[in-house]
Amino acid sequence: MDALDDLKAKDVKEIDVRGRASFADLLVIASGTSTRHVKSLADEVVKFVKKAGMMPLGVEGEREAEWVLVDLGDIVVHVMLPRIREFYGLERLWSVGGDNAEDLV
């Protein structure tokens, strides 16, 4: 979250998916203002994690940089352009069928 805040990510959301997904405990979704901003945000997350002594399991989408996914194991970070974020609606997807609306923080 600090890495995203440092580069002024837009509309950052955390979604707790424990008990609903086996691949992660937490999804972090953020928007960038351009493909360059999206890539910079994802790069900053990777740098921040490496400084903390961890290695990301994978990074996908850097080339197009409309949607970059950074897999940190228990946490998956999605950085997207606003139009891509709206189209795929991950917040809606993970809140549908959830126990309650408070899953969106």
52-76 tens-digit pLDDT: 999 999 999 999 999 999 999 999 9
In this structure, is residue 105 part of a structural domain? no
CA distances from 61 to 49, 67, 98, 100 (A): 18, 6, 28, 31
pTM of the model: 0.84
Task: Say what the alpha-carbon torsion angle 87, 60, 3, 40 is, to the nearest 10 degrees.
Answer: -80
Q: Is residue 102 part of a domain?
A: no
Total domain count, the chain: 1
CATH of the domain at 38: 3.30.460.10
Domain assignment present for 103: no
Of 34, 22, 13, the closest CA to residue 80 belongs to: 34
Which pLDDT score is estimated for 91?
A: 87
Range in 34-38, 79-83, 87-91 with the lowest mean pLDDT: 87-91
What is residue 102's predicted lDDT score, i.e. its pLDDT?
A: 44
Q: Which domain holds residue 91?
A: 2-97
104 occurs within a structural domain: no
Decide if 88 is inside a domain: yes
SS3 readout for 35-46? HHHHHHHHHHHH
- Per-residue model confidence as pLDDT tens digits over 14-60: 999 988 888 998 999 999 999 999 999 999 999 999 999 999 999 99
